[in-house]
Amino acid sequence: MKKLFIDSDVLLDLLLDREPFSEDTAILIEKSIESQIKLYTSILSIANMHYIIGRLETKKRADSKINKILKIISIENSGQTVIDKATKSKFTDFEDSIQNFCAVEASHKILITRNTKDYKESELSIFTPKEYLAKIKNE
């Protein structure tokens, strides 16, 4: 089974129904439910998503949406090593650097994001949801 590390922007597309992006994320979720892939994210993504949803909607809706997504997606822990690597990296965005090194430390090979240009320093295979779905369709 493939393991995918999902960046918060992709999950927010789904949770906030941001068209046209939410459809591809929904397909990834369906594939996860069908046990074709296993989805992971970081604790930082959960915190960021809760904050954004709470600001755009309400805290109660943020709590509800986060609880739903946690039934589908597993959390990868990150700690001192991830932060140390992030602060020393060439990434221009610190949050993306944390996401990257959290995925690397957890032995992921693939990271799904809509901001692929922000991961040009990554050793991981970086895809948008649409690109990844096209890739596995051809496998």
**Tens digits of per-residue pLDDT, 68-124?**
999 999 999 888 999 999 999 999 999 999 999 999 999 999 999 999 999 999 999
Per CATH, the architecture of 2-133 is what?
3-Layer(aba) Sandwich (3.40)
Assess contact for 115 and 126: CB atoms under 8 A: no
| CA geometry: angle 120, 30, 12, nearest 5 deg | 50
pTM for the model? 0.92
The single-letter DSSP state of residue 56 is H
Closest CA to 26 of 15, 37, 40, 42: 15
Query: In the structure encoding, which two tokens stand for residue 11, read together?
Result: 């999950």
Burial of 27 (0-12, 13-18, 19+ CB in 10 A): middle
How far is residue 10's CA from residue 110's CA, in Å, rounded to a whole number? 14
**Tens digits of per-residue pLDDT, 51-70?**
999 999 999 999 999 999 99
Listed by start position, the domains of the chain span: 2-133
Angle, helix 22-33 to helix 8-15, in steps of 10 degrees: 100
